[in-house]
């Protein structure tokens, strides 16, 4: 029996270099003559720039140059939207440097280039920017009053508004036997990859190279080409090892123009490594959503309709993710349920805060919290068990594929496959739901215990295409060049597993190359749990093509038909005699593929590129369940048991899928209990360092049980896979809020906003 790599929990090929400290991150790139960048960032949330005096800074030895808007004025264009564009967003886009106004604390005003970052920061101390402060808008409702306008040209703070709907919502509410209306708010927080953003850029002999690229290098190269007015073919984006992405890292930010601009202007390499203080004010924030929602039901718990208004606090500018966060909140607000009628208004609201973008399960963490909390409230009102209420409404396997209707501006939401009730059942079994009666109690120490559950569905594997190029050399080595990138997901292992099985070679013969725009002409990148769905299937497709070519070459040489041959463990056998001697090795076939006249052994190449296309999304789904204990005197929450159930269709590497689930849940626990980017009324960020922005540490995260299901392979791709990157986080807010609310229900507590801090619990208990 030939070894099956797909489905095997193989330890990661890349871990050796990570664990032995030999990985190469952006900051490890050091070039001769390299300079360092630092940024003058606005200390005001909203102000007019009156004057910038750089005289004293330029006099510091080691300060090479300072660029302000004036210096980039000839090139100045706004950074375009990559995802979820809407025409009305255009006037709210961010330019690389502030022109006459700053619109959030951290807004870049100038870039300093110096011999070292130390000297660069010395320059920041003495650059004298005169600001005329303006009133700051830090609240969605304040912003919507348009009393203070943040962008003068459009003359409003509402950057976009549209409505999605499906079914007859008015009829649903006319038929309702029960309705409930609530307001929910999710906390502004963001991803904090261990490695902050950063890059080294060199301009040499007319070629521009950017080290530190990741996520979407092909797209970013196109943007930079347009902004610098410099040909794409002369630009090389190189991805090294990356210390985490989570949606934050790798988008096109102002710095992604300014550092290359400085390197070109000065003709010397420039490094910029974001520090954590910069990261917290400059990199995208996320999740800041306000939602008014109303549900219509029958007394038996059947959902008739949901109507809602979603307001996304977008910050001072619309960034590369366009309307994505509020749009995606609306897109899956109805969740994995039969909701015959749905209507949702989506509002993109500008405020004087850092711009918003994606963070792992953007919009879906939010909508799951909103919907699942409301369902628990409705269950209590109707006297129905929360699990029973969900079973009653979950979409059944027989309904798949299920068209949930037009919940997005750009089309219908169609769930491809799934056994949603099974996903919930597994979570309930694991937490011991049936045996735990009652579902809430008080222990001897006076702590309130409660069980909470939530179900979710998450779109993954966004198209439209992804590519892979395979080159087999005369040594028989298989090189796979990916269009996707790797921020720590382990593609060097999973993609090798796919390649080995799809081609019929040993995994040891396969090497994965990723993230370099020179490897492959087009690449969509890695985001939204698309890596394995799109990149994996591209590898599979390329392998199919390659296999066909190999068998054709071999059959010609062996004077037989391709159908009589098999490729197995990197060798050609006659069909039926796979145990016997091999007829040809992969290396020998590679030599056969050479151009005529060049027969030197080992120099042959066998190459193919394939693109996998998808115009539909795959939907992972599942449920979370938690048991918590709350100390009513301090508001402290202990998570006693946490379960993540996720169906991803087919697990290429179950060990790594578990890692994704557990890591996602840990991140979600932090997001739900600890993390918040708090602003004061003047628009100052009060959680600007890790002293105040509280990430979960190993002592705050309980053991997490992850159950990976393969009940419903996706019919949309040959591998049957769905994305596995976000199921671990998506229902954490919902589940913990439900558990805490359930525990404290006797004391009249209902969580409607996050995070759930001890102070917040104490406040709810005292009111």
Compare residues 228 and 687 and give the one whose CB is closer to other proteins. 687
Backbone angles phi and psi of 222, in degrees to 5: -65, -45
Contact status: 636 vs other proteins (CB under 8 A): yes
Among 125, 229, 443, 615, binds other proteins (CB under 8 A): 125
In Å, the largest CA–CA distance within the chain is 87
Nearer to other proteins, 245 or 688 (CB): 688
Q: Find the part of the chain contacting other proteins (CB under 8 A) among 241-249, 353-361, 399-407, 693-701.
A: 693-701
User: Measured between alpha carbons, how far is 163 from 173 in angstroms, rounded to an integer?
Assistant: 18
Measured torsion, CA atoms of residues 758, 759, 764, 767, in degrees rounded to the nearest 10 = 140
**559 near other proteins (CB under 8 A):** no
Asked if residue 385 binds other proteins (CB under 8 A), the reply is no
Name 398's Cβ contacts closer than 8 Å, sequence gap at least 6: none
Please say which residue, 110 or 669, places its beta carbon nearer to other proteins. 669
| Nearest alpha-carbon partner for 37 in 109, 98, 112, 106 | 112
Which of residues 478 and 685 has its CB atom nearest to other proteins in the complex?
Answer: 685
With CB under 8 A as the contact rule, the residue among 234, 692, 715, 746 that binds other proteins is: 692
Of 635 and 668, which has the nearer Cβ to other proteins?
635
Give yes or no for residue 678 binding other proteins (CB under 8 A).
yes
Candidate ranges 171-179, 239-247, 542-550, 754-762; the one touching other proteins (CB under 8 A):
754-762
Judged by CB under 8 A, the stretch of 374-382, 583-591, 596-604, 696-704 that binds other proteins is 696-704
Dig out the tokens for 752 from the structure. 């409607």
676 binds other proteins (CB under 8 A): yes
Which residue from 671, 680, 674 is spatially nearest to 694, judged by alpha carbons? 674
Alpha helices in 247-352 (DSSP H): 254-266, 276-282, 324-331
Q: Which residues contact 552 (CB under 8 A, 6 or more apart)?
A: 562
| Among residues 546, 565, 674, 756, the one that binds other proteins under rule CB under 8 A | 674
Q: How far is the CB of 442 from other proteins (least distance, A)?
A: 17
The stretch near other proteins (CB under 8 A) out of 117-125, 131-139, 247-255, 535-543 is 117-125
Closest contact distance (angstroms) between CB of 43 and other proteins is 13
For residue 544, the minimal CB distance to other proteins (Å) is 50
- In the list 399, 602, 634, 746, the residue contacting other proteins (rule: CB under 8 A) is 634
766 binds other proteins (CB under 8 A): yes
If one asks whether residue 689 binds other proteins (CB under 8 A), the answer comes out as yes
Peptide bond between residue 67 and the one before it cis (omega within 30 degrees of 0) = no
Cα–Cα distances in Å, from 252 out to 129, 213, 496?
26, 10, 29
Q: What is the CA radius of gyration of the chain?
A: 27
Q: Which stretch binds other proteins (CB under 8 A): 495-503, 530-538, 593-601, 695-703?
A: 695-703
277 binds other proteins (CB under 8 A): yes
> Taking contact as CB under 8 A, which single stretch among the options 132-140, 314-322, 500-508, 692-700 is the one that binds other proteins?
692-700
User: What's the rounded Cα separation, in Å, for the pair 706 and 721?
Assistant: 18
Tell the smallest beta-carbon distance from residue 648 to other proteins (Å): 31
Q: For residue 633, state whether it binds other proteins (rule: CB under 8 A).
A: yes
Closest CA to 219 of 321, 141, 122: 321
Rounded-to-integer distance, Cα 572 and Cα 552, Å: 11
Give the binding range for other proteins (CB under 8 A) out of 308-316, 377-385, 470-478, 682-690.
Answer: 682-690
Residue 762 interacting with other proteins (CB under 8 A):
yes
Count Cα atoms within 13 angstroms, Cβ side, for 294.
13
Torsion of CA 169, 174, 177, 178, to 10 degrees: 50
Distance CA(595)–CA(120), nearest Å, equals 54
Q: By CB under 8 A, is residue 747 in contact with other proteins?
A: no
Selected range binding other proteins among 63-71, 116-124, 383-391, 575-583, rule: CB under 8 A: 116-124
CB of 278 to other proteins, least distance (A): 8
Nearest to other proteins of 599, 689 (CB atom): 689
- By CB under 8 A, residue 508 contacts other proteins: no
| SS3 assignment, position 446 | coil
Smaller CB separation from other proteins, 520 or 685 = 685
Choices 273-281, 335-343, 553-561, 726-734 (CB under 8 A): range interacting with other proteins: 273-281
Closer to other proteins by CB, 572 or 761: give it.
761
Among 182, 222, 232, 700, binds other proteins (CB under 8 A): 700
As measured in angstroms, the least distance from the Cβ of 405 to other proteins is 41
List binders of other proteins among 85-104 (CB under 8 A).
none
Query: DSSP state, 90?
Result: G
User: Binding to other proteins by residue 759, rule CB under 8 A?
Assistant: yes
Q: Residues 118, 128, 130, 578: which binds other proteins (CB under 8 A)?
A: 118
Beta bridge partners of 180: 295
Q: Binders of other proteins: how many residues, by CB under 8 A?
A: 32
SS3 579: coil
Of 27, 71, 107, 122, the one binding other proteins (CB under 8 A) is 122
Q: Which residues pair with 347 in a beta bridge?
A: 161, 311
Per CB under 8 A, the list member of 686, 715, 718, 747 interacting with other proteins is: 686
Comparison of 745 and 765: residue with beta carbon closer to other proteins: 765
Please tell me whether residue 526 adopts helix, strand or coil conformation.
Answer: coil
In this chain, which stretch among 184-192, 389-397, 658-666, 688-696 interacts with other proteins, using CB under 8 A? 688-696
State the binding string over 46-85 for other proteins (x if CB under 8 A, else -): ----------------------------------------
Are 66 and 373 a contacting pair, CB within 8 Å?
A: no
Complex with other proteins: residue 474 or 733, whichever CB lies closer: 733
Q: What DSSP line would sit under 140-204, residue for residue?
A: HHHHHTTSS-SSTTT--SEEEEEEEEES-HHHHHHH-SEEEEEEEEE--B----SS--EEEEEEE
Site membership for other proteins, residue 694 (CB under 8 A): yes
Give the residue with the Cβ less far from other proteins, 275 or 429.
Answer: 275
If one asks whether residue 681 binds other proteins (CB under 8 A), the answer comes out as: no
Residue 65, φ and ψ in degrees, nearest 5: -160, 155
- Among positions 206, 699, 703, 748, the unique one binding other proteins when judged by CB under 8 A: 699
Nearest in space to 409 (alpha carbons), one of 330, 464, 307: 330
How far apart, in whole angstroms, are the C-alpha atoms of residue 407 and residue 327?
Answer: 9
Half-sphere exposure of 553 (CA within 13 A, CB side): 25
State yes or no: residue 763 binds other proteins (CB under 8 A). Answer: yes
Cα–Cα distance for residue pair 385/399, rounded to 1 Å = 24
- Nearest CB to other proteins, comparing residues 427 and 669: 669
Contact 322, 81 (CB under 8 A): yes
Among 31, 380, 687, 745, binds other proteins (CB under 8 A): 687
In angstroms, the CA 600 to CA 224 distance is 42
Of residues 315 through 354, those in contact with other proteins by CB under 8 A are none
**CA 612, CA 304: separation in Å to the nearest integer?**
39
Our finding on whether 638 is near other proteins (CB under 8 A) is no
d(CA 535, CA 512) in angstroms, rounded, equals 12
DSSP string, 224-255: HHHHHT--GGGEEEE----S--TTTTTS--HH
Which residues make up the interface to other proteins (CB under 8 A)? 116-118, 121-122, 125, 275-277, 633-636, 674, 676, 678, 686-687, 689, 691-692, 694, 696-697, 699-700, 757-759, 762-763, 766
């Amino acid at each position: 029996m030939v070894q099956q790599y797909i489905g095997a929990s193989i330890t990661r090929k890349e871990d050796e270099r990570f664990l032995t400290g030999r990985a190469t991150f952006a900051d490890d790139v050091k070039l001769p003559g390299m300079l360092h960048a630092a940024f003058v960032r606005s200390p005001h949330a909203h102000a007019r720039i009156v004057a910038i005096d750089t005289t004293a800074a330029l006099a510091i030895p080691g300060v090479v140059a300072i660029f302000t808007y004036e210096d980039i004025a000839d090139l100045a264009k706004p950074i375009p939207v990559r995802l979820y564009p809407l025409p009305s967003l255009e006037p709210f886009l961010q330019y690389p440097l502030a022109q006459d106004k700053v619109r959030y604390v951290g807004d870049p005003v100038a870039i300093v280039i110096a011999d070292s970052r130390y000297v660069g920061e010395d320059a920041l101390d003495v650059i004298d920017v005169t600001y005329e402060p303006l009133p700051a808008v830090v609240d969605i409702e304040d912003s919507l009053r348009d009393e203070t306008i943040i962008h003068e040209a459009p003359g409003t703070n509402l950057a976009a508004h549209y409505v999605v709907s499906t079914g007859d919502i008015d009829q649903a509410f006319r038929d309702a036997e029960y309705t409930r209306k609530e307001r929910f708010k999710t906390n502004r927080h963001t991803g904090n990859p261990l490695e902050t953003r950063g890059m080294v850029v060199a301009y040499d002999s007319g070629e521009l190279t950017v080290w530190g690229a990741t996520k979407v290098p092909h797209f970013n190269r196109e943007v930079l080409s347009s902004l610098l007015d410099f040909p794409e073919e002369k630009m090389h984006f190189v991805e090294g090892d990356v210390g985490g992405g989570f949606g934050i890292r790798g988008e096109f930010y102002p710095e992604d123009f300014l550092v290359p601009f400085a390197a070109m202007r000065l003709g010397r390499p420039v490094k910029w490594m974001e520090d954590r203080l910069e990261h917290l004010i400059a990199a995208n924030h996320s999740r800041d959503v306000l939602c008014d929602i109303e549900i219509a039901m029958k007394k038996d718990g059947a959902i008739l309709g949901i109507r809602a208004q979603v307001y996304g606090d977008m910050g001072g500018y619309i960034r590369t993710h366009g309307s994505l966060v509020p749009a995606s909140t609306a897109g899956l607000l109805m969740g994995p349920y039969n909701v015959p009628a749905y209507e949702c208004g989506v509002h993109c609201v500008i405020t004087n805060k850092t711009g918003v973008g994606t963070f792992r399960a953007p919009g879906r963490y939010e909508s799951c919290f909103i919907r699942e909390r409301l369902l628990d409230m409705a269950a209590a009102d109707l006297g129905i068990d929360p699990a029973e209420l969900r079973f009653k409404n979950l979409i059944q396997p027989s309904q798949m594929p299920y068209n949930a209707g037009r919940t997005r501006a750009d089309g219908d939401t169609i769930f491809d496959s799934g056994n949603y009730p099974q996903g919930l059942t597994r979570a309930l079994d694991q937490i011991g739901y049936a045996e735990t009666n009652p579902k809430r109690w008080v222990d001897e120490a006076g702590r309130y215990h409660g069980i909470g559950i939530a179900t979710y569905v998450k779109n993954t594997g966004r198209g439209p295409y992804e590519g892979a190029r395979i080159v087999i050399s005369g040594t028989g080595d298989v090189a796979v060049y990916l269009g996707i990138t790797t921020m720590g997901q382990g593609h060097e292992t999973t993609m090798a597993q796919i390649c080995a099985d799809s081609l019929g070679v040993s995994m040891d013969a396969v090497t994965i190359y990723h993230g370099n725009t020179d490897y492959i002409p087009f690449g969509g990148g890695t985001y939204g749990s698309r890596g394995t769905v799109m990149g994996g299937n591209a590898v599979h497709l390329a392998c199919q093509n390659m296999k066909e070519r190999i068998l054709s070459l071999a059959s010609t040489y062996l004077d037989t038909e391709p159908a009589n041959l098999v490729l197995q463990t990197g060798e050609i056998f006659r069909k039926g005699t796979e145990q016997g001697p091999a007829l040809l090795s992969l290396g020998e076939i590679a030599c056969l593929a050479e151009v005529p006249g060049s027969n030197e052994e080992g120099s042959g190449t066998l190459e193919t590129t394939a693109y996998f296309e998808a115009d539909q999304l795959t939907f992972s789904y599942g449920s979370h369940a938690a048991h918590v204990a709350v100390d009513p005197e301090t508001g402290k929450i202990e998570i006693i048991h946490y379960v993540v159930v996720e169906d991803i269709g087919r697990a290429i590497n179950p060990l790594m899928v578990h890692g994704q689930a557990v890591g996602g849940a840990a991140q979600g626990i932090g997001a739900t209990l600890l993390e918040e980017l708090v602003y004061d009324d003047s628009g100052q960020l009060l959680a600007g360092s890790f002293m105040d922005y509280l990430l979960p540490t190993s002592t705050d995260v309980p053991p997490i049980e992850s159950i990976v299901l393969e009940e419903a392979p996706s019919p949309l791709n040959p591998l049957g896979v769905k994305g596995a990157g976000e199921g671990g986080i998506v229902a954490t807010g919902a589940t913990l809020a439900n558990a805490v609310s359930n525990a404290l229900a006797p004391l009249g507590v209902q969580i409607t906003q996050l995070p759930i801090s001890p102070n917040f619990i104490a406040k709810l208990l005292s009111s």
